[in-house]
Amino acid sequence: MIGKIGGTYHRVKGLKLFFLMILSFLFVLGTLTSCGQKAEEEAPAEETGIVAKEGVITFEGVVKTAVGNYMYVPQVSGFDLYLSGDFDSSTLIGKEVKGEGEYTPERPSLLIVNTLEVKDESGIWQPLYTRSGEPTLEDYIDLKARESYLPLEELAYNKAELWEGKEKVKVYGQLEEITKEGQEPTYRIIVFNDKGKEVGRILIDNLTSFAQYYLKKLHLYDTFWFYLQVKETVPWKVRRRTRELFHAELEFEGLF
């Protein structure tokens, strides 16, 4: 009996040691996995061409879309790039660039470019731009400002009170370009209700650079929310015949 108890004791002791070894192995494995996950979480900053430090970002990538002062580089995820002054960024489309920019909590999605270099045909980086003053951001609309645009619902040609007296509104629809031989193209928005039915048309007198930039950036989509500054109302007889409601300046487009 004593021999059996002793054998059992040694077996139990051996099992304890075995389980302790297993637990130690699992702990080490978990630690390595945690470190690996942390490294994976940190990796996108390098993979996307972004290195951030105290509100300053160093970036590198290829320019996909650019209009006026605004530029979109897919590798700089989550940001629109802005170059101050009299600068036409459209000349950089398709080119590889790198530089440094800064952002603020007030404009978390806008990167103000401080310096910019472009890679030439021989693969050598050439200095191109250095910011010399504060950005004006005349037509930029941040997330907070977008909240002030009133959504127009249940639009109809005989409901002018919905938009008259309003300065900034937004509608859901599709932009239509109208071209006539020998003339500059004009634009209008076909407005849809929540069932996808056309309820009216809005004549666009002007598109800001920011609006043009986002049209190109969101080229894969057909319908958006259009952020507008309301101008004059179309006369009653014309509204009734054409369903054209009012004139507006197009200031921004977004998916929400």
Q: Confirm whether 29 is domain-assigned.
A: no
Structure tokens at 45: 């900053």
20-24 long-range contacts, CB within 8 A, separation 24+: none
For the CA atoms of 198, 188, 208, 68, the dihedral, rounded to the nearest 10 degrees, stands at: 110
Report pLDDT digits (tens) over 7-49: 433 343 444 444 445 444 444 344 434 434 433 344 444 455 6
Half-sphere exposure of 139 (CA within 13 A, CB side): 22
Q: Confirm whether 76 is domain-assigned.
A: yes
Q: Report pLDDT for 161.
A: 98
CATH number of the domain within which 149 lies = 2.40.50
Report pLDDT digits (tens) over 173-200: 999 999 988 888 999 999 999 899 999 9
Q: Confirm whether 110 is domain-assigned.
A: yes
Q: Report pLDDT for 47.
A: 53
Q: Report pLDDT for 54.
A: 64
Q: Confirm whether 124 is domain-assigned.
A: yes
85-94 long-range contacts, CB within 8 A, separation 24+: 85/131, 85/132, 85/133, 87/129, 89/63, 90/66, 91/66, 92/63, 92/66, 92/118, 93/63, 93/64, 93/65, 93/66, 94/62, 94/63
> In terms of domains, do 97 and 190 share one?
no
Helix (H) or strand (E) holding 216: helix 209-217
Cβ–Cβ under 8 Å, residues 80 and 109:
yes
103-to-145, 147, 197, 226 alpha-carbon distances in Å: 17, 21, 41, 26
Q: Report pLDDT for 133.
A: 86
Which of the listed residues 71, 104, 130 is the one where a domain comes to its end? 130
Residue 150's nearest CA partner among 139, 161, 140 is 161
Q: Report pLDDT for 49.
A: 63
Structure tokens at 43: 């990796």
Which of the listed residues 109, 130, 151 is the one where a domain comes to its end? 130
Q: Which amino acid is at 77?
A: S
Q: Report pLDDT for 29.
A: 40
Q: Confirm whether 27 is domain-assigned.
A: no
Q: Report pLDDT for 105.
A: 87
- 198-207 and 244-254 as β-strands: parallel, antiparallel, unpaired? parallel
> In terms of domains, do 115 and 213 share one?
no
Q: Confirm whether 78 is domain-assigned.
A: yes
d(CA 140, CA 246): 23
For residue 215, the enclosing domain spans 143-254
Q: Report pLDDT for 3.
A: 38
Q: Confirm whether 218 is domain-assigned.
A: yes
Those residues of the chain that have pLDDT short of 50 are 1-20, 22-46
Q: How many domains does the chain have?
A: 2
The percentage of residues in the chain with a pLDDT greater than 90, rounded to a whole number, is 71
Q: Report pLDDT for 45.
A: 42
